[in-house]
Amino acid sequence: MADTFRAIVANKTDAGYASAIENITIDQLSEGDVIVDVAYSTLNYKDGLAVTGKGKICESFPMVCGIDLSGTVAESASADFKPGDKVVVNGYGLSQNHSGGYAEKARVRSDMLVKLPDGMDLKNAMAIGTAGYTAMLCVLALESHGVAPGNGEVLVTGAAGGVGSVAISILAKLGYTVVASTGRESTHAYLKDLGAAECIDRNTLSEAGKPFQRPRWAGVVDTVGSNTLANALAQTKYGGTVAACGLAGGPDLPTTVLPFILRGVTLAGIDSVEAPMAARKEAWARLAVDLPMDKLSAMSETIPLAKVIDIAPEILKGQVKGRVIVDVTA
Protein backbone atom coordinates (compact mmCIF):
# COMPACT_ATOMS: atom_id res chain seq x y z
CA MET A 1 0.00 0.00 0.00
CA ALA A 2 1.21 3.49 -0.82
CA ASP A 3 2.37 5.57 2.13
CA THR A 4 -0.37 7.72 3.60
CA PHE A 5 -0.24 11.04 5.41
CA ARG A 6 -2.72 13.34 7.13
CA ALA A 7 -4.58 16.16 5.41
CA ILE A 8 -7.62 18.35 6.03
CA VAL A 9 -9.92 17.58 3.12
CA ALA A 10 -13.10 19.44 2.19
CA ASN A 11 -15.90 17.43 0.60
CA LYS A 12 -19.23 18.51 -0.83
CA THR A 13 -21.85 15.81 -1.31
CA ASP A 14 -25.62 15.49 -1.32
CA ALA A 15 -25.34 15.26 2.46
CA GLY A 16 -23.74 18.70 2.63
CA TYR A 17 -20.32 20.34 3.06
CA ALA A 18 -17.79 19.00 5.55
CA SER A 19 -14.06 19.17 6.26
CA ALA A 20 -12.23 16.42 8.10
CA ILE A 21 -8.76 15.02 8.69
CA GLU A 22 -8.18 12.10 6.34
CA ASN A 23 -5.27 9.82 5.48
CA ILE A 24 -4.41 10.30 1.80
CA THR A 25 -1.63 9.44 -0.66
CA ILE A 26 0.53 11.47 -3.02
CA ASP A 27 -1.58 10.27 -5.95
CA GLN A 28 -4.57 12.12 -4.48
CA LEU A 29 -2.75 15.48 -4.70
CA SER A 30 -2.73 17.85 -7.64
CA GLU A 31 -0.04 17.49 -10.28
CA GLY A 32 3.38 19.09 -9.89
CA ASP A 33 7.08 18.55 -10.44
CA VAL A 34 8.14 19.10 -6.82
CA ILE A 35 7.13 17.22 -3.66
CA VAL A 36 7.45 19.15 -0.40
CA ASP A 37 7.49 17.83 3.14
CA VAL A 38 5.21 20.42 4.70
CA ALA A 39 6.19 21.77 8.11
CA TYR A 40 3.76 24.64 8.67
CA SER A 41 0.73 26.33 7.20
CA THR A 42 -1.48 29.18 8.45
CA LEU A 43 -5.08 30.03 9.21
CA ASN A 44 -6.31 33.01 7.18
CA TYR A 45 -9.80 34.42 6.62
CA LYS A 46 -9.89 32.66 3.26
CA ASP A 47 -8.98 29.38 4.96
CA GLY A 48 -11.91 29.88 7.31
CA LEU A 49 -14.21 30.22 4.31
CA ALA A 50 -12.80 27.08 2.69
CA VAL A 51 -12.83 24.86 5.78
CA THR A 52 -16.35 25.84 6.85
CA GLY A 53 -17.83 26.11 3.37
CA LYS A 54 -19.08 29.63 4.16
CA GLY A 55 -17.47 30.88 0.96
CA LYS A 56 -17.10 29.36 -2.49
CA ILE A 57 -13.33 28.85 -2.26
CA CYS A 58 -12.84 25.21 -3.30
CA GLU A 59 -13.62 24.80 -6.99
CA SER A 60 -13.64 21.00 -6.98
CA PHE A 61 -13.94 18.20 -4.45
CA PRO A 62 -12.41 16.53 -2.58
CA MET A 63 -9.95 19.39 -1.94
CA VAL A 64 -7.04 19.64 0.47
CA CYS A 65 -7.46 23.00 2.21
CA GLY A 66 -4.80 25.54 3.17
CA ILE A 67 -3.72 28.52 1.04
CA ASP A 68 -0.17 28.60 2.46
CA LEU A 69 2.66 26.22 3.16
CA SER A 70 6.30 26.16 4.12
CA GLY A 71 8.47 23.09 4.02
CA THR A 72 11.47 21.24 2.67
CA VAL A 73 11.79 19.90 -0.86
CA ALA A 74 11.72 16.09 -0.73
CA GLU A 75 11.76 15.30 -4.46
CA SER A 76 12.21 17.55 -7.48
CA ALA A 77 12.11 17.15 -11.25
CA SER A 78 13.00 20.83 -11.62
CA ALA A 79 16.52 22.15 -12.11
CA ASP A 80 15.60 25.17 -9.97
CA PHE A 81 15.01 23.21 -6.76
CA LYS A 82 16.77 20.33 -5.07
CA PRO A 83 15.98 18.13 -2.06
CA GLY A 84 16.68 20.02 1.14
CA ASP A 85 15.69 23.46 -0.18
CA LYS A 86 13.50 25.45 2.22
CA VAL A 87 10.52 26.85 0.33
CA VAL A 88 7.23 28.67 0.71
CA VAL A 89 4.06 28.79 -1.40
CA ASN A 90 1.33 31.43 -1.13
CA GLY A 91 -1.83 31.49 -3.21
CA TYR A 92 -1.53 30.17 -6.76
CA GLY A 93 -4.87 28.44 -6.32
CA LEU A 94 -3.93 26.39 -3.26
CA SER A 95 -7.20 25.19 -1.68
CA GLN A 96 -9.10 26.42 -4.73
CA ASN A 97 -8.02 24.43 -7.77
CA HIS A 98 -4.79 22.94 -6.41
CA SER A 99 -4.42 20.81 -3.27
CA GLY A 100 -3.26 23.02 -0.42
CA GLY A 101 -1.03 23.25 2.62
CA TYR A 102 -3.11 21.45 5.27
CA ALA A 103 -1.30 18.19 4.52
CA GLU A 104 1.96 16.63 5.60
CA LYS A 105 3.04 16.51 1.96
CA ALA A 106 2.36 18.77 -1.03
CA ARG A 107 2.92 18.28 -4.74
CA VAL A 108 3.30 21.62 -6.51
CA ARG A 109 4.66 23.17 -9.67
CA SER A 110 8.17 24.56 -9.35
CA ASP A 111 6.99 27.93 -10.68
CA MET A 112 4.86 28.30 -7.53
CA LEU A 113 7.81 28.03 -5.13
CA VAL A 114 9.85 30.79 -3.49
CA LYS A 115 13.06 29.89 -1.66
CA LEU A 116 13.14 31.21 1.88
CA PRO A 117 15.29 34.31 2.33
CA ASP A 118 18.44 33.94 4.41
CA GLY A 119 17.78 34.21 8.11
CA MET A 120 14.12 33.17 7.93
CA ASP A 121 13.00 29.76 9.18
CA LEU A 122 9.97 27.69 8.16
CA LYS A 123 7.92 28.67 11.20
CA ASN A 124 8.53 32.39 10.80
CA ALA A 125 7.61 32.06 7.13
CA MET A 126 4.16 30.86 8.12
CA ALA A 127 3.86 33.36 10.96
CA ILE A 128 4.06 35.74 8.00
CA GLY A 129 2.10 33.61 5.53
CA THR A 130 -0.27 35.04 2.94
CA ALA A 131 -1.43 37.70 5.40
CA GLY A 132 2.07 39.06 5.97
CA TYR A 133 3.08 38.70 2.34
CA THR A 134 -0.09 40.60 1.36
CA ALA A 135 0.70 43.29 3.93
CA MET A 136 4.15 43.71 2.37
CA LEU A 137 2.61 44.00 -1.10
CA CYS A 138 0.43 46.81 0.31
CA VAL A 139 3.45 48.62 1.74
CA LEU A 140 5.30 48.26 -1.57
CA ALA A 141 2.27 49.77 -3.34
CA LEU A 142 2.25 52.76 -1.00
CA GLU A 143 5.98 53.27 -1.53
CA SER A 144 5.74 52.97 -5.31
CA HIS A 145 3.09 55.70 -5.35
CA GLY A 146 5.21 58.06 -3.31
CA VAL A 147 3.70 57.67 0.17
CA ALA A 148 6.63 58.45 2.46
CA PRO A 149 6.82 58.56 6.29
CA GLY A 150 6.90 62.35 6.28
CA ASN A 151 3.67 62.68 4.27
CA GLY A 152 1.35 62.11 7.23
CA GLU A 153 -0.65 59.39 8.94
CA VAL A 154 -1.27 55.98 7.42
CA LEU A 155 -4.52 54.20 8.29
CA VAL A 156 -4.67 50.43 8.68
CA THR A 157 -8.19 48.93 8.82
CA GLY A 158 -9.01 45.52 10.26
CA ALA A 159 -5.91 46.24 12.26
CA ALA A 160 -6.00 43.31 14.69
CA GLY A 161 -6.22 40.73 11.91
CA GLY A 162 -3.28 39.05 10.23
CA VAL A 163 -2.73 41.54 7.40
CA GLY A 164 -3.34 44.52 9.65
CA SER A 165 -0.99 43.30 12.39
CA VAL A 166 1.90 42.74 10.00
CA ALA A 167 1.24 45.98 8.11
CA ILE A 168 1.40 47.99 11.35
CA SER A 169 4.67 46.35 12.37
CA ILE A 170 6.31 46.99 9.00
CA LEU A 171 5.05 50.57 8.61
CA ALA A 172 6.07 51.50 12.15
CA LYS A 173 9.58 50.14 11.65
CA LEU A 174 9.87 52.13 8.41
CA GLY A 175 9.01 55.31 10.30
CA TYR A 176 5.36 55.85 9.35
CA THR A 177 2.81 57.19 11.82
CA VAL A 178 0.20 54.44 11.89
CA VAL A 179 -3.44 54.74 12.97
CA ALA A 180 -5.14 51.40 13.63
CA SER A 181 -8.86 50.91 13.08
CA THR A 182 -10.39 48.06 15.08
CA GLY A 183 -13.70 47.05 16.60
CA ARG A 184 -12.09 45.41 19.61
CA GLU A 185 -10.98 47.79 22.37
CA SER A 186 -9.28 44.84 24.04
CA THR A 187 -6.68 44.84 21.24
CA HIS A 188 -5.57 48.47 21.65
CA ALA A 189 -2.56 47.64 23.85
CA TYR A 190 -1.57 44.86 21.42
CA LEU A 191 -1.79 47.21 18.42
CA LYS A 192 0.19 49.96 20.13
CA ASP A 193 2.86 47.43 21.05
CA LEU A 194 3.12 46.56 17.35
CA GLY A 195 3.73 50.23 16.61
CA ALA A 196 0.36 51.94 16.16
CA ALA A 197 0.45 55.56 17.32
CA GLU A 198 -3.33 55.68 17.76
CA CYS A 199 -6.32 53.32 17.72
CA ILE A 200 -9.75 54.37 16.44
CA ASP A 201 -13.11 52.63 16.57
CA ARG A 202 -13.98 50.92 13.30
CA ASN A 203 -17.54 52.24 13.64
CA THR A 204 -16.24 55.68 12.66
CA LEU A 205 -15.55 54.21 9.22
CA SER A 206 -18.03 51.36 8.81
CA GLU A 207 -21.20 53.42 8.36
CA ALA A 208 -22.16 55.11 5.09
CA GLY A 209 -20.49 58.53 4.84
CA LYS A 210 -20.13 61.47 2.53
CA PRO A 211 -18.15 60.75 -0.64
CA PHE A 212 -15.78 63.65 0.06
CA GLN A 213 -14.61 64.30 3.64
CA ARG A 214 -11.95 66.16 5.61
CA PRO A 215 -8.58 64.82 4.41
CA ARG A 216 -6.45 63.00 6.95
CA TRP A 217 -4.63 59.97 5.53
CA ALA A 218 -1.48 60.04 3.43
CA GLY A 219 -2.00 56.36 2.77
CA VAL A 220 -4.28 53.51 3.72
CA VAL A 221 -3.98 49.71 3.98
CA ASP A 222 -7.57 48.46 3.81
CA THR A 223 -8.59 44.88 4.54
CA VAL A 224 -12.31 45.54 4.97
CA GLY A 225 -13.86 46.99 1.80
CA SER A 226 -17.44 48.32 1.59
CA ASN A 227 -18.21 51.51 3.57
CA THR A 228 -14.86 51.37 5.35
CA LEU A 229 -12.96 51.58 2.08
CA ALA A 230 -15.30 54.26 0.76
CA ASN A 231 -14.76 56.42 3.85
CA ALA A 232 -11.02 55.84 3.77
CA LEU A 233 -10.92 57.05 0.17
CA ALA A 234 -13.03 60.09 1.06
CA GLN A 235 -10.58 60.98 3.86
CA THR A 236 -7.34 60.47 1.91
CA LYS A 237 -5.18 63.54 1.34
CA TYR A 238 -4.26 64.97 -2.04
CA GLY A 239 -2.05 62.54 -3.96
CA GLY A 240 -2.47 59.80 -1.37
CA THR A 241 -2.80 56.09 -2.05
CA VAL A 242 -5.15 53.46 -0.70
CA ALA A 243 -4.02 49.83 -0.98
CA ALA A 244 -7.10 47.58 -0.93
CA CYS A 245 -6.57 43.90 -0.24
CA GLY A 246 -9.62 42.53 1.58
CA LEU A 247 -13.39 42.35 1.85
CA ALA A 248 -14.11 41.34 5.44
CA GLY A 249 -16.83 44.02 5.49
CA GLY A 250 -18.19 43.23 2.04
CA PRO A 251 -17.17 43.37 -1.64
CA ASP A 252 -19.17 46.50 -2.49
CA LEU A 253 -17.65 49.97 -2.82
CA PRO A 254 -20.31 52.69 -2.33
CA THR A 255 -18.33 55.75 -3.39
CA THR A 256 -17.99 58.31 -6.19
CA VAL A 257 -15.18 59.51 -8.44
CA LEU A 258 -14.67 62.66 -6.32
CA PRO A 259 -11.60 61.48 -4.34
CA PHE A 260 -9.94 60.45 -7.58
CA ILE A 261 -10.61 63.51 -9.74
CA LEU A 262 -10.48 66.23 -7.06
CA ARG A 263 -7.64 64.96 -4.87
CA GLY A 264 -5.75 62.69 -7.25
CA VAL A 265 -6.17 59.73 -4.91
CA THR A 266 -4.92 56.35 -6.15
CA LEU A 267 -6.77 53.13 -5.37
CA ALA A 268 -4.24 50.31 -5.65
CA GLY A 269 -5.70 46.82 -5.82
CA ILE A 270 -3.55 44.17 -4.12
CA ASP A 271 -3.80 40.56 -5.30
CA SER A 272 -1.73 37.94 -3.51
CA VAL A 273 -3.01 34.86 -5.34
CA GLU A 274 -1.66 35.47 -8.84
CA ALA A 275 0.99 38.12 -8.10
CA PRO A 276 3.96 37.75 -10.47
CA MET A 277 7.04 35.95 -9.18
CA ALA A 278 9.16 39.14 -9.25
CA ALA A 279 6.74 40.82 -6.84
CA ARG A 280 6.67 37.75 -4.60
CA LYS A 281 10.45 37.58 -4.37
CA GLU A 282 10.67 41.31 -3.62
CA ALA A 283 8.01 41.04 -0.92
CA TRP A 284 9.70 38.10 0.80
CA ALA A 285 13.12 39.74 0.60
CA ARG A 286 11.73 42.91 2.18
CA LEU A 287 9.87 40.94 4.87
CA ALA A 288 13.16 39.39 5.96
CA VAL A 289 14.53 42.90 6.55
CA ASP A 290 11.59 45.17 7.40
CA LEU A 291 9.41 42.99 9.63
CA PRO A 292 10.63 42.95 13.25
CA MET A 293 10.80 39.29 14.21
CA ASP A 294 10.11 40.05 17.88
CA LYS A 295 6.83 41.67 16.84
CA LEU A 296 6.09 38.66 14.66
CA SER A 297 6.40 36.34 17.65
CA ALA A 298 4.15 38.58 19.75
CA MET A 299 1.36 38.50 17.17
CA SER A 300 1.48 34.73 16.53
CA GLU A 301 0.13 31.56 18.11
CA THR A 302 0.69 27.97 16.99
CA ILE A 303 -1.96 25.27 16.77
CA PRO A 304 -1.84 21.61 15.64
CA LEU A 305 -3.43 20.55 12.37
CA ALA A 306 -6.34 18.91 14.18
CA LYS A 307 -7.42 22.20 15.76
CA VAL A 308 -7.90 24.07 12.47
CA ILE A 309 -11.43 22.80 11.93
CA ASP A 310 -12.50 24.04 15.38
CA ILE A 311 -10.92 27.49 15.05
CA ALA A 312 -11.90 28.18 11.43
CA PRO A 313 -15.37 29.55 12.36
CA GLU A 314 -13.77 31.93 14.87
CA ILE A 315 -11.67 33.74 12.27
CA LEU A 316 -14.82 34.42 10.25
CA LYS A 317 -16.39 36.07 13.31
CA GLY A 318 -13.37 38.32 13.85
CA GLN A 319 -12.46 36.51 17.06
CA VAL A 320 -8.89 35.65 16.07
CA LYS A 321 -6.10 38.13 16.84
CA GLY A 322 -2.89 38.33 14.82
CA ARG A 323 -1.44 35.31 13.09
CA VAL A 324 -2.26 31.62 13.55
CA ILE A 325 0.50 29.19 12.58
CA VAL A 326 -0.57 25.62 11.84
CA ASP A 327 1.99 22.95 12.80
CA VAL A 328 1.11 20.38 10.17
CA THR A 329 3.27 17.72 11.79
CA ALA A 330 1.62 18.02 15.24
Q: How many CA atoms lie within 13 A of 178 on its CB side?
A: 30
Q: How many CA atoms lie within 13 A of 125 on its CB side?
A: 27
The percentage of the chain sitting over the pLDDT mark of 90, rounded to a whole number, equals: 96
- Between the alpha carbon of residue 267 and those of residues 8, 84, 174, 240, the distances in Å are 37, 41, 22, 9
CA-based end-to-end distance of the chain: 24
CA–CA separation, 153 vs 144, rounded Å? 17
The pLDDT of 194-211, averaged and rounded, is 97
Written out in words, the top-level CATH class of the domain with range 5-115+299-327 is alpha beta
For residue 1, pLDDT over 70 is answered with no
Which residue intervals of the chain bear CATH 3.90.180.10?
Answer: 5-115+299-327
The pLDDT of 186-210, averaged and rounded, is 97
62-109: pLDDT as tens digits: 999 999 999 999 999 999 999 999 999 999 999 999 999 999 999 999
228-267: pLDDT as tens digits: 999 999 999 999 999 999 999 999 999 999 999 999 999 9
pLDDT at 191: 97
**Residue type at 185 in one-letter notation:** E
pLDDT at 2: 62
Q: Which CATH superfamily is domain 131-269 in?
A: NAD(P)-binding Rossmann-like Domain (3.40.50.720)
Instruction: Give the DSSP letter of residue 280.
Output: H
pLDDT at 114: 97
Which residue intervals of the chain bear CATH 3.40.50.720?
Answer: 131-269
CA–CA separation, 100 vs 19, rounded Å? 13
pTM of the shown model: 0.91
